[in-house]
Amino acid sequence: QDASDTQRVKQEYQSDVARLRKIVINSLYSNRDVFIRELISNANDALEKFRLTALTEKDLYDGVSPLNVTVQAVKNEDGVGGRIIITDTGIGMSAEELTSNLGILAKSGTSEFLANTDSLDTTSSGNLIGAFGVGFYSSFLVADKVTVTSIPPKSSKHPNPSQNVFSSSADEGTFEVYPDPRGNTLGHGTEVTLELKTDAKQYLVTSNLMKLINQHSVFSTSFPIYVWNEVEKEVPIEEEQEEIPQSDSETEDDGEEAVVEEEKVVEPVAPKTKKIMVSQWEHMNSQPPLWMRDPKTVTDEEYGLLYQATFKDFQKPLTWTHFTGDSGDGVSFRALIYVPSHLPNNFFEQTTETSTSDVKLFVKHVFITSDFGEYALPKWASWVKVIIDAEDLPLNVSRETLQSSAFLKQIKNLIIRRLLQLFGRIAKEESREIPRDHWIYNTVLKLGAADDSKNRERTAALTRYTTNQRNNTSFDDYISNKKQGQHQIFYLADMGKPAEHLAGSVFVEKLHARGYEIFLMNEPLDEVLIHGLESWKGIKFQDVAKAGLKFGDDSEEEVESTATLAEKFAPLLNWLKVQVGEHARDVVVSDRLVTSPCAVVADSFGLTANVQRLMSATSRGAKNDAMQEMMKKQKVLEINPRSPLIEGLLHRVEQLEADGTERDEDLAVELEEVAAILIDGALVRSGFEVTDSNLFLTRVDRVLRRSLGVSETAPTDTTVKPAPPVDPSLSEKILSYEEDAKTWDEFINDELEAQLEVEEINEQGNVVVGHDEL
């Protein structure tokens, strides 16, 4: 018995892997072409790993043997089925690695993939395979049985490498790994053999395979891919050599004088040929990569395919820019920047230190790194996909030295510059795909303006907002609409509120009525980026909910009249200062109100309601910070001198405080209540919370009773039916429920698998839909 047979022990797939494999097999049937792309991509990755390891382990690679991927379709002799063999001369896997990489390891993306399968639809799910790193399992879409033979190169990690085999069937939940009885046949690398399902015979046709490789792999792989192909060739027919007749001259060469014969014109006879079938390795990606070509010669479809294959996105890119550049240190390069049509799912949850795994740096078409270390793109730009291919680098490229060179920094700055140029250009062009209100301007660039101080101005220039007069307004648009004398840019920020509500705010009423434009900002980032910017083209931003608002066209008479009004309202102002207590540090006559009786305005060093909310949302621990508490108090109550309510209150207060008369205590109590409601109302109108909403509403109730002529003291019947006593059988019920209960994960797993299995597999676990058409 063969030694390997004794070691062929069946192992169970680890549960996550088993589930993943099942989902891939059962749900991605209509997308099964992806298997070839996934396996070639793994082979290419393995070659890249080999080359990178060889940079540090000098003995690993002789520099001569080929580094490539080969694909071969082999028909069975019985003519029924066949197999596809994909071989690479890459880093290979040891027995342990075969087991853990293909059978046990639930990779980091797996749980995310499994979570995403909830929203699985079969049109897009094929790309989920690659996006979440479940590529290898796509083999089972087309194969009944998959065999992976692999051997790592001799290295410090594997001083005595040996060749091993991983084998698994699509309909079993097990796999085996065992030493290859043939010994080392591969040198180093991996060979994946797919025993094709009977309904997957089309993949045995080499032209079909080549078409798929052309579509999905040639753009995105850096190592040569060869396909074993039968081609028709014309070869000369090897006819029996005719006896070349002895020339007369030879026969007559015996002393006779040479006779000059008349020269004969001999027609050249085309050699006879025949057509035969010849098998040979055909180089699929002999063309330079797409990004090295002249952009004029690349079609949109080709750009789209490269994007989808390289970055594993099932949606087409929104736009791209393809250009030649120079790093500034004399390193010339080609670059292709793609703007995806969507943000990653968890984009806003990610920390600011995001990785730039989607900036692929090549040197002379050879992939070098996606790790830009400290020169990673800032978060706002981290979702774009970039290919950079440098002609040559000024150093012997290794990841370590690259990190410390100026090159990565230059590349980072250049990508950002070009990206902003691209956004600027599409902002002007304004297309159906990227309209003026696209989230790029509303979300991504705002993040840039808020987070990335270095590019603040340039990103902010492209952001857009709603104003009280129009939508999608940039800062420059605003400036060109500025009124004479206006030296402030007016804005009101209240996150989460619809712009229409902001337009009706107490702070906006006069500005709006007078025809001034006001930015109505309702995203959390808006306030942050305005604070970062402070001004635009030399004009300061003015929060209209704060003190310091100036229209810029106040005449001397207006200033005088404000002073006169302050004098007129002095008794009310003084009385209100007592009533307002802690809510505001001062009470003044307002110049910003039209219809509202009063408002609470934050001092220039105070905090608006929006900033207070932002602070409590972001700095949980600092709630009791003394400085913050002090700033919260920096508020001023502004009263509208033209409001009849305020006029009326002034008269009543004058009446109350009139010299020489006895103080009317009933009136005092009533006025205090009116003042309390007015102040609380002003706080609410201005976006703040009232300190005690119960008290506020009790006061309102009292005023309502008064206006309805209902007794203020008449009690409400407060008798209620009490709840029944505690149910004595409750503890038993809880216990029996807990015994039956599944965990949430078990519940979701069962539900998901039940859904996926419907119509798609039979009892044996084989796919049963659509076989006949294929």
Ligand X SMILES: Nc1ncnc2c1ncn2[C@@H]1O[C@H](COP(=O)(O)OP(=O)(O)OP(=O)(O)O)[C@@H](O)[C@H]1O
Q: Which is nearer to ligand X, 102 or 525 (CB)?
A: 102
Q: Which is nearer to ligand X, 42 or 310 (CB)?
A: 42
Strands 359-363 and 385-390: parallel
**Should residue 134 be labelled a site residue for ligand X when binding is judged by CB under 6 A?**
yes
Please select the residue that binds ligand X; options are 4, 120, 133, 421, rule is CB under 6 A. Answer: 133
Please select the residue that binds ligand X; options are 72, 99, 190, 308, rule is CB under 6 A. Answer: 190
Instruction: Enter the tokens of residue 762.
Output: 């039979």
Burial 196-235 (b: 16+ CB within 10 A, else e): bbebbbebbebeebbebbebbbbbbbbbbbbbbbeeeeee
Strands 164-169 and 273-283: unpaired
Give the interface segment with ligand X, choosing from 99-107, 235-243, 258-266, 691-699 (CB under 6 A): 99-107
**Should residue 136 be labelled a site residue for ligand X when binding is judged by CB under 6 A?**
yes
Quick check: 441 and 472 in contact, CB under 8 A? yes
CA–CA distance, 18 with 137 (Å, rounded to integer) = 10
The footprint of ligand X on this chain (CB under 6 A) covers a number of residues equal to 20
**Should residue 524 be labelled a site residue for ligand X when binding is judged by CB under 6 A?**
no
Q: Which is nearer to ligand X, 98 or 589 (CB)?
A: 98
Task: Quote the least distance from Cβ 95 to ligand X, whole Å.
Answer: 13
CA–CA distance, 27 with 22 (Å, rounded to integer) = 8
**Should residue 20 be labelled a site residue for ligand X when binding is judged by CB under 6 A?**
no
* Position with the least CB separation from ligand X: 135
Task: Quote the least distance from Cβ 545 to ligand X, whole Å.
Answer: 50
Please select the residue that binds ligand X; options are 103, 126, 130, 289, rule is CB under 6 A. Answer: 130
**Should residue 88 be labelled a site residue for ligand X when binding is judged by CB under 6 A?**
yes
CA–CA distance, 665 with 603 (Å, rounded to integer) = 34
Torsion sign over Cα 542, 543, 547, 550: positive
Quick check: 139 and 35 in contact, CB under 8 A? yes
Count of alpha carbons within 13 Å of 534, Cβ hemisphere only?
Answer: 2
Q: Which is nearer to ligand X, 151 or 521 (CB)?
A: 151
Task: Quote the least distance from Cβ 528 to ligand X, whole Å.
Answer: 36
CA–CA distance, 522 with 499 (Å, rounded to integer) = 7
**Should residue 135 be labelled a site residue for ligand X when binding is judged by CB under 6 A?**
yes
Quick check: 566 and 652 in contact, CB under 8 A? no
Q: Which of residues 28-47 bind ligand X (CB under 6 A)?
A: 38, 41-43, 45-46
Q: Which is nearer to ligand X, 191 or 494 (CB)?
A: 191
Please select the residue that binds ligand X; options are 90, 126, 161, 687, rule is CB under 6 A. Answer: 90
* 271-310 footprint of ligand X as x/- string (CB under 6 A): ----------------------------------------
Q: Which is nearer to ligand X, 67 or 508 (CB)?
A: 67
Task: Quote the least distance from Cβ 100 to ligand X, whole Å.
Answer: 9
Please select the residue that binds ligand X; options are 91, 290, 549, 678, rule is CB under 6 A. Answer: 91
Task: Tell me whether residue 629 is exposed, middle or buried, using C-beta atoms within 10 angstroms of its C-beta: 0 to 12, 13 to 18, 19 or more.
Answer: exposed
Task: Quote the least distance from Cβ 136 to ligand X, whole Å.
Answer: 3
Task: Quote the least distance from Cβ 234 to ligand X, whole Å.
Answer: 38
Instruction: Enter the tokens of residue 523.
Output: 């995203």
**Should residue 101 be labelled a site residue for ligand X when binding is judged by CB under 6 A?**
yes
List 652's β-bridge partners, or say none: none
Instruction: Enter the tokens of residue 553.
Output: 């066209």
Phi, psi values for residue 615, rounded to 5°: -65, -45
**Should residue 93 be labelled a site residue for ligand X when binding is judged by CB under 6 A?**
yes
Q: Residue 272: left if φ>0, alpha if ψ -120 to 50, beta else—which one?
A: beta
Task: Quote the least distance from Cβ 120 to ligand X, whole Å.
Answer: 17
Task: Quote the least distance from Cβ 43 to ligand X, whole Å.
Answer: 5
Instruction: Enter the tokens of residue 83.
Output: 């197999």
Q: How far is CA 518 from the centre of its chain?
A: 32
Query: Which stretches of the chain bind ligand X, using CB under 6 A?
Result: 38, 41-43, 45-46, 88, 90-93, 101-102, 107, 130, 133-136, 190
